Structure 1
């Protein structure tokens, strides 16, 4: 009724301009409302769970930034990781992961299991990762659980892990048996020349963060958000 009265009060020759002003105002209001809704979405919470390849990885900030831009919503990435630890240690850290109530859990827990001096057999590693996956999935049934294979090892770091590929395979098999996801970053590293690879991983185990980000982040963003998003 008020709108009708206002319409009648506007001189006929000005009604077109008045309509245009109202139309533009409505477009601005819709645009501002859409932006507010996007900003008010809760963040996508990610926990990276692993060894020094996570604790010292340096790829988490890039993942957070690029995934947020791709999804058009906030993203937070936290780490539960410790250098030198194994899947046996990881079994004692599940409450820390669960406390974050993540939407996505990224897991790499094979690298130190595979070292000769830590005495985690292939069978024990497989049992551990199976228990980790079961407990996480039971407590967080809606979370995406993604196992990862990371970078290659070389030099002494490679020599003490002669069967690392077998450890990766059994972790992958346990994920697939449960219908969970697996992302293999090794092909990205294999595309580097031998000299570039040596420069990227100078100690034979821990990549430079800037190079790790270039290889790991696009792969994860594309896997999480869909093809084309990580490019």
Structure 2
């Protein structure tokens, strides 16, 4: 009898702990309104000068990818001196990004900072709680602004298949980017709707592993969204 009670208690405690873990990582709880494919410019447009030094904070969707270089080449059509600097490392989340940005700002003064870590923060294997992710995003917005930079929060490609199963709360992490952008007046580069609008065949071709777009996928969805956000501050009046 006592043994059965102990076992039942252990099951209850284990279930409660699992529930808390799932809630903290967004696997359960209110589902945020779905995103779209849109760009929102930063409120107040600070600084009031053309963008020439753009830093993109992220992980494997940016690190070692061709699209940041393609973005720089496209922007140089009107601003030959603009620099697009990826500050990204595969497998990292917003905790790493917060520390990396702090170190970078000791050495340089970018005028534009873009932040994109939702996918890795949402990972059950090595991610962060929603609360920790939110705190890191807010800290990066404040840090970049204190250094005189305009800030964009960016949602990248969502996950599908096995990669989606590892990130059951990803929609809520993506929702944080929209929420914090709205609350702080940071800009928003939201590409989720573009990826979700693809047919199954298109998604397989442009995102074969269900997480990382091919160069063609970035050319189709990522690059146009970033150009829409960055051409106004890089090429004002054009």
TM > 0.5: yes
**Distance in 1 (alpha carbons) for counterparts of 2:203 and 2:55:** 27
Judge conservation of contact 1:133–1:175 (CA < 8 Å) in 2: no
Kindly indicate which of the two structures has a greater share of residues assigned to helix.
1
Q: Which sections of structure 2, spanning at least 5 residues, go unmatched?
A: 1-49
Residue 65 of structure 1 deviates from its aligned partner by: 1.2
Q: Tell me which residue corresponds to 1:156.
A: 162
Indicate the residue corresponding to 2:175 in structure 1: 169
Matches within 5 A, 1:43-122: 44-69=52-77, 71-98=78-105, 99-122=107-130
Residues 1:210 and 2:216 aligned together: yes
Tell me, in whole angstroms, the C-alpha distance in 1 between the residues paired with 2:80 and 2:138: 32
Runs of 4+ in 1 over 4 A off after TM superposition: none
SS of alignment partner, residue 120 of structure 2: coil
Q: 2:190 aligns with which of 181, 184, 203?
A: 184
Provide the C-alpha distance between the structure 2 equivalents of 1:195 and 1:215, rounded to a whole number of angstroms.
Answer: 16
Q: Which secondary structure does the structure 2 equivalent of 1:187 belong to?
A: helix
| SS across alignment from 1:85 | coil
How much has 1:81 moved relative to structure 2? Answer: 0.6
**Greater RCO (CA < 8 Å, at least 6 residues apart):** 2
The TM-score, its normalising length taken from structure 2, stands at 0.71
The 8 Å contact of residues 47 and 100 in structure 1, kept in 2 or not, is answered as no
1:3 paired residue number: none
Deviation at 1:119, TM superposition (A): 4.6
Closer, same or farther: CA 119–51 of 1 in aligned 2, 3 Å? closer
Paired residue for 1:32?
A: none
CA deviation after TM superposition for structure 1 residue 91, in Å:
2.0
Residue 43 of structure 1 and its aligned partner are, at CA, apart by 7.8
Q: Quick one: distance in 2 between partners of 1:68 and 1:103?
A: 16
**What's the Cα RMSD here?**
2.0
TM-score of the aligned structures, taking structure 1 as reference length: 0.73
Aligned to 2:139: 131
Which consecutive residues of structure 1, in runs of 5 or more, have no partner in the other structure? 1-41
